[in-house]
Structures are given as C-alpha cells and as structure tokens.
C-alpha cells in the first residue's frame, strides 16, 4: 500500500512500570482500531524520565532487549497487525547500558534494535551517566507497512544522522523523544527552544525528501514540563498533524509514501550531493 497510517502515542509516565506498559498497550490498541499500521512510542515510555540526577540504583530500571517487554509487544503487534517502535532502557551487561529502540514487525517478529548514538549532558538531562553511545550504526527496517528509520531524541538535532538513515532507504524517520522545558528557562527561552526543535526536524524531512515523525511525552516530572506537540512533517517540511501541548493523545496520521519518490524526482538532492567534497565532515572542527 502506498498510503500508511502512522500512530503516535503521546502520554505520561508514572513510577509503576507495569501500569505504564498496560496503559501504553491499551493506547496501541486504540491506535490500531483507528487504522494505524506503524505505531511509535515516546522515548523511555516504561518509566518517568529518570536522567534528572545521577543515581546508581536507577540502573535497576534497565532490562535486556529482546526481553519480557519486547515479547509482550511482539504478541500485541502480531494480534493487531501493526509495526511497533518501542524505546527502552537496555541492560547489555553489568555496567553497560543503552537508550535503545526496539523494532517489531506486524507479524510479531522482533526485527532488531537501534541504540541512541548522540548522548546529551545538560542540566536536567544527565544522560551520559546512564547511556553508552550506540554502536549499531544507522539502520532501516523494511517492515510489512513501510521502510522506516529510527533515531532517538538528541539524535534529532544532527543532520548527519538523518541523512545516513535516509540513505539506507528510509521513507519515514521516527524520533521517540522526551523533551521539555525547565521551569527556570521556560519564560525566557521556551518559545525559542520549541521552535528550534520543530524546525530542525522539518529541515531533515526536506533535506532527505522523507516523512519525519517525532513522538514526545507530556506532563510535569519534577522541574521539567514535557511539551508534547508530537508531529508528522511531510517531505516539504510541512506539519501535516500535531498533538497538543498538554494532553495525552493517540495521533493518527495518514501518509502517502509515493510522495517520497515524487519529491525526490523534483528536488534530487541525493543525485546532486558532492560526496567527493565531504571528507572534512569526519573531523571534530575545521581542519584541526
């Protein structure tokens, strides 16, 4: 099918992982009932965003991937005939943890994982303490309902990540996200911060001639107000659907995959890339 319905699950999280999983699975069922074929969950959907402080006990929140949660989601995906993108805290080994997205096909097959490559370290976002940078590379999954690439939150600021994923054949880039305003910054910088977040991802859609779907959480967690506003942008960078700032939502967005090829024929950015001139991009800064 050329048209596929995306389901973006924008919700909150509590300290009860079982409750978070069950509520989310109920929302996936709702999305499927509304016609969704590819469903993406927000970043670290099983827990509150725990990276606000450095606490070694919080490593107990991590789990193997594949594991019990992916088994539960695989059964759900098969039952509903939907692809599921699930962002989880992965325990790879003692002392080795990742921020990881699991990709499950519509027949329940666990297709693999993407480990978040770019790890931030900012006030209220102390991720370098918890997450080892990813080593899976940029990947695309050819699912029953479309060719998708998955990146995670801080990855969404890097055009290199979007480009390399699109070059693997992605028609849709999914970004499970947990981003919000710190109370101390919102009045002065809140509008500009949200504008930057939305604009850079719309730019990825244009530069790569693909759809972009960003899935954020909502609610207050300590000093952070997650700003929701999950959205889908088309290859022209136009926002075709957006969720609210505060409310939980199951956002269903039909996308016409033929638009990807139509756009790339008109604006053939991949054809005109000067790959012979890009070697300096692998340097940290300038020629040094």
Residues assigned a catalytic role = 43, 116, 153
Rounded to a whole number of angstroms, the CA Rg of the chain reads 18
- Could you give the C-alpha distances from 8 to 93, 98, 164, 165, in angstroms and in order? 31, 23, 23, 20
Whether the CB-CB separation of 259 and 265 falls below 8 Å is answered with no
Whether the CB-CB separation of 229 and 246 falls below 8 Å is answered with no
Burial class (CB in 10 A: 0-12, 13-18, 19+), 268: exposed
Whether the CB-CB separation of 30 and 250 falls below 8 Å is answered with yes
Written as six digits, the tokens of 39 are 């469903």
Whether the CB-CB separation of 99 and 43 falls below 8 Å is answered with yes
Whether the CB-CB separation of 121 and 110 falls below 8 Å is answered with no
């Amino acid at each position: 099918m050329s048209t596929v319905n995306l389901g973006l699950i924008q919700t909150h999280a509590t300290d009860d992982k079982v409750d978070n999983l069950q509520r989310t699975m109920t929302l996936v069922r709702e999305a499927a009932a509304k016609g969704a074929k590819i469903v993406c969950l927000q970043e670290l959907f099983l827990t509150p965003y725990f990276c606000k402080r450095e606490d070694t006990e919080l490593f107990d929140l991590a789990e193997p991937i594949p594991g019990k949660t992916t088994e539960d989601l695989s059964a759900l995906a098969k039952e509903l005939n939907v692809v599921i993108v699930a962002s989880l805290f992965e325990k790879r080994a003692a002392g080795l943890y990742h921020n990881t997205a699991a990709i499950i096909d519509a027949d329940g097959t666990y297709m693999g994982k993407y480990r978040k490559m770019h790890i931030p370290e900012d006030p209220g976002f102390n991720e370098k303490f918890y997450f080892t940078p990813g080593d899976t590379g940029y990947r695309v999954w050819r699912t029953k309902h479309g060719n998708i690439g998955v990146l995670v939150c801080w990855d969404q600021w890097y055009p290199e990540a979007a480009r390399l994923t699109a070059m693997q054949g992605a028609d849709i880039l999914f970004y499970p996200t947990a981003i919000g305003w710190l109370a101390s910054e919102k009045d002065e910088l809140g509008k500009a911060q949200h504008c930057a977040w939305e604009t850079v991802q719309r730019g990825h859609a244009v530069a790569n001639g693909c759809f972009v779907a960003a899935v954020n959480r909502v609610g207050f967690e300590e000093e952070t107000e997650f700003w929701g506003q999950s959205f889908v942008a088309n290859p022209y960078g136009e926002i075709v659907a957006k969720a609210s700032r505060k409310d939980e939502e199951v956002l269903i967005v039909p996308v016409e995959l033929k638009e990807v090829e139509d756009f790339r024929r008109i604006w053939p950015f991949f054809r005109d890339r000067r790959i012979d001139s890009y070697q300096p991009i692998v340097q940290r800064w300038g020629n040094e």
